[in-house]
Structure 1
């Protein structure tokens, strides 16, 4: 039973790493597509037409990141998070909960950054405002950070299931 759990965790980690890397690359490519659009800068204000390519790439990055996060939570969530056992205060369980909190913070930041980029590239929006620089690229980099925390969360959670 433990061996099957470890194999599932390893396969899930590889899948999550691949999905987060794909989301990160999509976010960085969305930033590159957004930078190809010509803009007019007047002091702090920037007038830029929305980029359909940047919109599509950023939306795909957000969806892939969301699926990777869902998978990490499904695989990582186990009976160790239930406070019914006498050892619910063990160090493994505390680390598991802390890594889960960090995982949620990182995904919120990544989706927020990607969301700002998506909103700024909606077709119907072509107005002048303060410049939104590199939000898509930062969102892409946050996807890579998400993969790190997801793997740590899954590893610690599986170790916590074996903690006495």
Structure 2
């Protein structure tokens, strides 16, 4: 059945399973990246401007990864739920949400990998700074 330029497709159990798997893997990837990357916290704008470049990058990538996670997770859940039940009418809202959510999963990966790298570099910089002997005044 076609309505204008939009196609109405019957729900697919295979699409439901793949959407559910993508949602679980997205959440798992985000949790693993945050656990391995650790907490790179900046509480004020002044702290952010005085932070090293690696810490600033880690914070920026962390913020963007959370935003993309929220959008991708919502799109995958809506697309998965749309495939879990039969529908009587064609909804423009549910059109291609699973495919866009899948693309956002890859974009999320492009943000969490640099987050992990910059967070690890930040920890390494801070441990070197703490290990250096301090001059006696």
- TM-score strictly above 0.5: yes
2:37 counterpart of 1:42: no
2:52 counterpart of 1:81: no
Q: Structure 2, unaligned stretches of length 5 or more?
A: 130-137
Distance 2:90 2:5 in 1: 8
The question of whether the paired residues in 2 share the 8 Å contact of 1:117 and 1:135 is answered with: yes
Distance 2:103 2:42 in 1: 33
Q: Which is greater in Rg? A: 2
The question of whether the paired residues in 2 share the 8 Å contact of 1:44 and 1:130 is answered with: no
Distance 1:135 1:127 in 2: 18
The question of whether the paired residues in 2 share the 8 Å contact of 1:46 and 1:128 is answered with: no
Change (3 A) 1:45 1:150: closer
Secondary structure at the aligned position of 1:81 is classed as coil
Deviations 1:81-101 (A, max 9, x none): 376xx9972222222111100
2:92 counterpart of 1:128: no
- Count of matched residue pairs: 121
Change (3 A) 1:120 1:160: same
RMSD across aligned positions (CA): 2.4
Q: 1:48 Cα deviation (Å)? A: 3.6
2:75 counterpart of 1:116: no
* Aligned equivalent of 1:152: 114
Q: Structure 1, unaligned stretches of length 5 or more?
A: 1-39
The question of whether the paired residues in 1 share the 8 Å contact of 2:75 and 2:100 is answered with: yes
Structure 1 outlier segments of 4+, above 4 Å:
44-47
Distance 1:102 1:89 in 2: 18
Secondary structure at the aligned position of 1:127 is classed as coil
Secondary structure at the aligned position of 2:90 is classed as strand
Secondary structure at the aligned position of 1:130 is classed as coil
- What is the TM-score normalised by the length of structure 1? 0.64
Matches within 5 A, 1:65-80: 65-78=26-39, 80=40
Distance 2:124 2:57 in 1: 14
The question of whether the paired residues in 2 share the 8 Å contact of 1:76 and 1:157 is answered with: yes
